[in-house]
């Protein structure tokens, strides 16, 4: 069956869940796995059951991310505990929602670390499922990186220990990574922010600027206040709720008295954030991007829109010659969704009040040493299959024609060697690809079919997640620094949990 036939059969209307493994594991809103999670198997959730957009207040001051306090008195050591547990939170007044949160904070937490620190964070699991803590993008040893191989059972605990290397300042995050239920744990609320600061503040070209942190999550809420289950479209295309939250608040507002460094995380399951800053007439204002996942760019870049795909982070610099009232929007984005569904709608993220605050950025923000010649090439192909049998639609996603098997090694890398990864997206959808172990250097993007246009080079930057459009090839270079098993996967969490993931053995 080809895509056209598949689409023309109205998959959104008569289908049933396509990924029974993932669906069967969706628990109820009250924390215990139950049959309630199977509702989605009967077809699309009744959209009338979703909360209306006006039930959440807008325009509140953007909350700051609560800081995870360092319990250690040694300045080179960070010690803390993260307890994952269900809790009640009233998004809608009078209709409490059971969310899953760390340390009882429905607002995502922030962990601030310094290069070279030794880190010791204990996870206490009070969820009804196994869980892990994964340090997305950080260069930590595989056995401390919270992969699905070493999950912590309900009521269990474990301490993650690692030492941050030099020169890893950047914008990271943490989230659970259990086998098959990562998407559920994240959509119920489990994710938080990490900032690694340089050891020497003088080596941070923008260290003098005040910062604002925007941690974007997605909320799909029923009218009764419960978190909605995934429906079939969520399983195929990745879950999108009706609300985008910034630091846990819906369309909040921020007032900036001077030029500000903004760090923005896309911690949604599957939402592409096609960012644009607009004035009150809807006119686009320039976005000045100064950083990516792994810290500052070598040089600032200006653009009308900046696409932040699921799991990516950006640093922006907001300033204006005159006082300005602006809105940060996520514009509509078409990622090639399957089925009779609308492309991702535009959403306002944040209102910004900006005082007059001209700023001249340094010419060079930092030096990034290009990785040398690669000694090995790794080839990755993303693909999908669609089928319909007995009135049921099926959609499967593959890496090199295989679905994830925790016990199979798919790629072998060598410690300390520069490798070139060539990734082809032969599927019909965008997939944001992420590899564990640290940051890579993007080289170029091109069409697999060269007649579609010339390759484009990437500016030097450090990344751990990169989006591939349908038909695109992306090339990056990376060095793995620790032995062990790393993961490579699509960061649309429904795709990851449905098997769009591979093991990389570093030897």
Q: Which does 495 bind (CB under 5 to 8 A by kind): Cu ion, ligand C2O, none?
A: Cu ion
> Smallest distance, Å, CB 38 to ligand C2O?
27
> Smallest distance, Å, CB 501 to Cu ion?
10
Q: Is 136 one of the binding residues for Cu ion (CB under 5 A)?
A: yes
> Smallest distance, Å, CB 434 to Cu ion?
5
Q: Is 82 one of the binding residues for Cu ion (CB under 5 A)?
A: no
Q: Look at residue 8 and give its three-state secondary structure.
A: helix
Q: Is 495 one of the binding residues for Cu ion (CB under 5 A)?
A: yes
Phi, psi of 328 (to 5 degrees): -95, 120
Q: What value, to the nearest 5°, has the Cα angle with vertex 216 and ends 214 and 217?
A: 150
Beta bridge pairs of residue 331: 274
User: Tell me, what DSSP letter sits at residue 93?
Assistant: T
| Residue 320: both structure tokens together | 């204006």
Q: Is 466 one of the binding residues for Cu ion (CB under 5 A)?
A: no
DSSP string, 450-496: GGG---EEPPS-EESEEEE-TTEEEEEEEE--S-EEEEEEESSHHHH
Binding positions for ligand C2O, rule: CB under 6 A: 134, 136, 175, 177, 311, 434, 436, 487, 489, 491
Q: In terms of DSSP bridges, do strands 440-447 and 376-389 run parallel, antiparallel, or are they unpaired? A: unpaired
Which is closer to Cu ion, CB of 128 or CB of 432?
432
DSSP string, 221-258: BBTTSPBPPP-HHHHHH----SEEEETTEES-EEEESS
Which is closer to ligand C2O, CB of 198 or CB of 432?
432
Q: Look at residue 143 and give its three-state secondary structure.
A: helix
Beta bridge pairs of residue 213: 263
Instruction: Compute the distance between CA of residue 505 and CA of residue 503 in angstroms, rounded to an integer.
Output: 6
Which is closer to Cu ion, CB of 231 or CB of 494?
494
Which is closer to ligand C2O, CB of 158 or CB of 175?
175
Q: Which does 158 bind (CB under 5 to 8 A by kind): ligand C2O, Cu ion, none?
A: none
Q: Is 371 exposed, middle or buried (0-12, 13-18, 19+ CB in 10 A)?
A: middle
* Cβ density class 378-406: b for 16+ within 10 Å, e for less: bebbbbbebebeeeebbbbbbbeeeebee
> Smallest distance, Å, CB 97 to ligand C2O?
24
Q: Is 140 one of the binding residues for Cu ion (CB under 5 A)?
A: no
Which is closer to Cu ion, CB of 136 or CB of 445?
136
Beta bridge pairs of residue 194: 111, 172
Which is closer to ligand C2O, CB of 39 or CB of 489?
489
Q: Which does 473 bind (CB under 5 to 8 A by kind): ligand C2O, Cu ion, none?
A: none
Task: Please work out the total of residues on this chain that contact Cu ion, with binding judged by CB under 5 A.
Answer: 6
Is 125 in contact with 84 (CB distance < 8 Å)? yes
Question: Which residues make Cβ contacts (< 8 Å) with residue 346, sequence separation at least 6?
Answer: 329, 330, 331, 332
> Smallest distance, Å, CB 105 to ligand C2O?
20
Q: Which does 271 bind (CB under 5 to 8 A by kind): ligand C2O, Cu ion, none?
A: none
Within 407-436, the residues that bind Cu ion by CB under 5 A are 431, 436
Q: Is 47 exposed, middle or buried (0-12, 13-18, 19+ CB in 10 A)?
A: exposed
| Residue 107: both structure tokens together | 């607002």
Q: Which residue is nearest to ligand C2O (CB)?
A: 136
> Smallest distance, Å, CB 495 to Cu ion?
3
Residue tagged 């709720």 (tokens): 241
Which is closer to Cu ion, CB of 23 or CB of 236?
236
Q: Which does 431 bind (CB under 5 to 8 A by kind): ligand C2O, Cu ion, none?
A: Cu ion
> Smallest distance, Å, CB 399 to ligand C2O?
13
Which is closer to ligand C2O, CB of 225 or CB of 432?
432
Q: Which does 213 bind (CB under 5 to 8 A by kind): Cu ion, ligand C2O, none?
A: none
Which is closer to Cu ion, CB of 39 or CB of 431?
431
Q: Which does 177 bind (CB under 5 to 8 A by kind): ligand C2O, Cu ion, none?
A: ligand C2O
Which is closer to ligand C2O, CB of 25 or CB of 329?
25
- CA 185, 186, 188, 194: dihedral to nearest 10 degrees? 120
Within 435-464, the residues that bind Cu ion by CB under 5 A are 436
Residues in touch with Cu ion (CB under 5 A):
136, 431, 436, 490, 492, 495
């Amino acid at each position: 069956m080809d895509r056209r036939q598949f689409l023309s059969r109205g998959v959104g209307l008569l289908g049933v869940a396509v990924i029974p493994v993932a669906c069967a594991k969706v628990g109820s809103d009250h924390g215990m796995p139950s049959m309630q999670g199977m509702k989605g198997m009967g077809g699309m959730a009744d959209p009338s059951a979703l909360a209306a957009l006006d039930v959440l207040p807008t325009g509140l001051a953007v909350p700051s991310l609560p800081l995870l306090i360092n319990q250690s008195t040694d300045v080179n050591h960070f010690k803390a505990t993260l307890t994952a547990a269900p809790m009640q939170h009233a998004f809608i007044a009078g209709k409490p929602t059971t969310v899953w949160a760390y340390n009882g904070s429905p607002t995502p937490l922030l962990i601030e670390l310094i290069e070279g620190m030794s880190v010791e964070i204990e996870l206490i699991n009070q969820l009804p499922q196994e869980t892990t803590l994964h340090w997305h993008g950080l260069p930590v040893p595989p056995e401390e990186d919270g992969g699905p191989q070493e999950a912590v059972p309900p009521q269990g605990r474990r301490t993650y220990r690692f030492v941050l290397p030099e020169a890893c300042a950047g914008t990271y995050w943490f989230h659970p990574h259990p086998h098959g239920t990562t998407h559920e744990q994240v959509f119920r609320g489990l994710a938080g922010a990490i900032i690694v600061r340089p050891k020497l503040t003088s080596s941070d070209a923008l260290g003098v600027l005040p910062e604002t942190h925007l941690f974007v999550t997605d909320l799909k809420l029923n009218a009764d206040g419960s978190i909605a289950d995934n429906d079939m479209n969520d399983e195929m295309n990745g879950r999108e709720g009706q609300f985008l939250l910034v630091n846990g608040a819906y369309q909040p507002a921020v007032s900036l008295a001077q030029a500000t460094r903004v760090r923005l995380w896309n911690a949604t399951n599957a939402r592409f954030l096609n960012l644009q800053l607009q004035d009150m007439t809807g006119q686009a204002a320039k976005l000045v991007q100064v950083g990516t996942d792994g810290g500052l760019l070598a040089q600032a870049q200006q653009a009308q829109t900046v696409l932040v795909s699921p799991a990516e982070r950006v640093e922006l610099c907001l300033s204006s010659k005159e006082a300005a009232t602006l809105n940060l929007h996520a514009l509509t984005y078409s990622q090639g969704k399957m089925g009779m569904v609308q492309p991702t709608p535009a959403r306002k993220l944040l209102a910004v009040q900006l005082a007059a605050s001209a700023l001249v950025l340094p010419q060079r923000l930092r030096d990034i040493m290009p990785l040398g010649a690669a000694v090995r090439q790794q080839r990755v192909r993303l693909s999908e299959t669609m089928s319909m049998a007995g009135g049921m639609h099926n959609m499967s996603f593959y890496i090199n024609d295989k679905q994830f098997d925790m016990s199979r090694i798919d790629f072998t890398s060598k410690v300390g060697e520069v490798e070139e990864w060539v990734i082809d997206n032969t599927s019909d959808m965008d997939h944001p690809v992420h590899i564990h172990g640290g940051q890579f250097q993007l080289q170029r993007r091109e069409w697999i079919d060269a007649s579609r246009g010339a390759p484009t080079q990437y500016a030097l930057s450090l990344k751990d997640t990169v989006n591939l459009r349908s038909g695109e090839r992306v090339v990056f270079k990376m060095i793995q620094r620790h032995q062990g098993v790393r993961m490579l996967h699509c960061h649309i969490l429904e795709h990851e949990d449905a098997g769009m993931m591979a093991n990389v053995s570093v030897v």
